[in-house]
Structure 1
């Protein structure tokens, strides 16, 4: 009997260098490490060459190359942080143009609509193409904790180790095989170039059970191995973004043991069938994901990507079909090219306006919740691609970010602060969820500190609660004295301006509905 198909999708209400540089750098540094033939390779995810940074998988190639695990807290922020512990201001998605309306649009109006709708794909394809040095369909594993020497991933994450691959399903499906993992949080996020998180495997989605998952191209009707589940991708190209919780350096070996029992293989390697045709190498990227064209050159990149990655809805398919038809009819037409230039510029302005209008702060924190799956809300899809590419659905993780204290003043290491969680207001999480608080410099990297301590969270040994059960985190650049509480609850911060990020994995309903928000950073007298 043919195995049943399963699609682990969580839908939410619509409302430098990126990841590419991370993996490209890994490929260069670790070329000698090679692969074990089962689709993995080792990769320390750090570099000390001072090159521009990238975005972690659950985050964004923001316009200035900032972190993807952070969402912009305000329109003017320059750190591109990916979260906001308050809310994203979501407005009703404007109705997509009907086929009749599309027919009557001017070339410039059509180009503007297509620019906004297609922006996420161009960001994704450029990111994918920057990985061409790695090839495709190979699973890479991070095997060292991030620290101040980690200058590749912006907003380095000391809580998880990454397991990442770029998939191309045009040759044949791929089979991801994983052991049982029930003693720690983990997730694999499957992300389309349209930035929909269309499936998950892991603690939340599949209960951490052992198994094999066939990741298949759109419309695939082949036979899966006995017992395997089929995840049918909406696109031929897919980002596979894995994260495994790790407690400390000693715990890294346990994640490596999981790696050694995991594999990513072509379906034919599992079934013994004839392999699919070889894949063409990835094209060289026309530029970075942070510098998307705002003229007609945008459409020269977009249109060839549509065949491999069909638009996600009927309305968007009609829009892009009209665009392709007009581009073909007007090839060599200077007037039509000028209309594409003007439409792209107008579309870019619309996306910038979205960034300016969709965020607000609560207690100095900001958070985006209505993200991960977008339907026909092309404005929200473009907004997140601009400042939060690769965002998880909020049921998987939420990332509040603060750049100001309780009084609205910028956070600065020349002052001391406290953040107090009342006993009944600790972050509410589901089973195997976790939280942590990290401090970064304005560049969203860890600043070297003699304590070698960069994160405090629910897994930090020796945290001291107050007599009333509350938990107070002390933030300062200098080590606090015993009279000031000592180092048990201390989070060292950079000497100057800094940014806080609170990671909330497997958040419970009060976080998701906004009834729980983080307490502010209160400056000491």
Structure 2
């Protein structure tokens, strides 16, 4: 077949363009150094650079995508140091959570109860949830299993829940709300409107003890100190390996399992990185932590912005972090790096039920909140909360309640009986290293040399919050 000159020239140009588009230049400048090739083949001195870079990238991916699992491994480890080492032992905070423990953004207004189910050791397990409660169970990869209580199928009447381990094929008795978890370990969070007395009505025991359950041991850990937050260095990957070794391989999606396998974390195999890989993973964790802090403190998804400097911690309105069929990877990291508990009731609050949240790390000028400076936050009259509202203050490093000399409850709340309102019903709240004279009850101490961030909570948010006809003010510097 003969092709005319013009056609031949056009075809040659297209072919050259195609070759160019699939080819690599002999040198490529990268953040990892210059990569050198001979006609597309990496030269020996560049091969090691390439694999170091690939391992670093995989390590960063694992950090960002496995924060949820590492978070619960760290939480369980911390609780075990307090004696909460089986489902029989239930920890609680009486009267309420405080800054003694390093834990992700707890509130100081609620009595918490908590433990971990161990469906491998106990098999099918029963939880008798108390009435008028708001309880949640999440699996060990921090995915939602069920609500119990008011947002759950018992609708606050109290109910019996039966949790079945992965692969369970035995008899399932009638009379229970039955849940099948993909993981053996499950985190239980207990909250009740009646406080400690109602929380302690909870009973947890194996199905095998149905006729004569052993009593639960209640441990008040409010006076104790422990760390329940995951690592930001090499040891992060050992935290993740712990969950991989314990849980069924099918409990984790293939994509994250593949990322883990790429850095040597595989179920049934020892995770023992050599000196080279340890150095790379330590660097990857620190880079990943830096990225997670950007996602949390300066999120770029437009839906993360509430208004002004205030951010929304649950982007997309989905407890699975899904939008248009796609997983919001950044939103998942943003939430889990600073917060705990996954439930649809948090992701999509209803008018008059549940709670709504807003947080910021910036003042009215766009500057990072500085513990050495003083600020005022004006809260307009009639905050749209059916129950009450609060502002808790957290350390930007640990994402835990800030530790200050003046109090173990660094917060102000409308139900405290201590806030002083202005004549029009509004409130001026103060934050800084020293209390404004005469306004001590409206003040939260901060520390010079440290940053901090507030979390504003509405319990039973009302229409003006969702419609944004009522808005929070900004933190106004006073010096």
Relative to the length of structure 2, the TM-score reads 0.62
Is residue 459 from structure 1 mapped to residue 415 from structure 2 by the alignment? yes
1:210 aligns with 2:155: no
3-state secondary structure, aligned to 1:128: helix
Partner of 1:419: 378
Whose strand fraction is larger, Structure 1's or Structure 2's?
A: 2
Q: Distance in 1 between matches of 2:388 and 2:176?
A: 30
Choose the corresponding residue for 1:368, options 313, 316, 328: 313
1:106-505 equivalences under 5 Å are 108=54, 111-112=58-59, 116-132=64-80, 133-137=83-87, 138-146=89-97, 150=100, 157-170=107-120, 171-181=122-132, 186-206=133-153, 207-244=155-192, 255-270=195-210, 289-293=230-234, 301=242, 303-307=244-248, 310-311=251-252, 313=253, 315-316=255-256, 349=287, 352-357=290-295, 359-360=298-299, 362-370=307-315, 372-374=319-321, 376-390=327-341, 393-394=346-347, 395=349, 396-409=354-367, 410-411=369-370, 415=374, 417-423=376-382, 426=383, 428-429=384-385, 433-439=387-393, 444-445=401-402, 447-449=404-406, 455-461=411-417, 470-473=426-429, 477-478=434-435, 480-481=437-438, 490-494=442-446, 496=448, 499-505=453-459
* CA separation of 1:140 and 1:322: change in aligned 2, threshold 3 A: same
Query: Is the 8 Å Cα contact of residues 73 and 240 (structure 2) preserved in structure 1?
Result: no
Q: Which residue is 1:521 aligned to?
A: 475
Larger relative contact order, structure 1 or 2 (CA cutoff 8 Å, min sep 6): 1
Q: How many angstroms apart in 2 are the aligned matches of 1:510 and 1:205? A: 26
Contact 1:187/1:244 (8 A) holds in 2: yes
Answer 1 or 2: which has greater helix percent: 2
Instruction: Please say which structure displays the higher CA radius of gyration.
Output: 2
Q: How many residues align?
A: 381
* Cα-to-partner distance string for 1:304-351 (whole Å, 9 max, x where unaligned): 24427711x4654676688889999999998xx967975885576456
The 8 Å contact of residues 232 and 286 in structure 2, kept in 1 or not, is answered as no
Contact conserved, 2:166 with 2:183, CA < 8 A, in 1? yes
Computed over aligned residues only, the root mean square deviation of the Cα atoms, in angstroms, reads 4.7
Whole-Å separation in 2 of the counterparts to 1:268 and 1:468 = 60
CA distance change for structure 1 residues 453 and 106 in 2, over 3 Å: closer, same or farther?
Answer: closer
In 2, the alpha carbon distance for the partners of 1:173 and 1:119 equals 28
Unaligned regions of 5+ residues in structure 1, if any? 1-104, 246-253, 274-286
Give the drift of 1:136.
1.6
Q: TM-score, normalised to structure 1's length?
A: 0.57
Structure 2 unmatched ranges of 5 or more = 1-49, 214-227, 300-304
1:434–1:506 CA contact under 8 A, matched in 2: yes
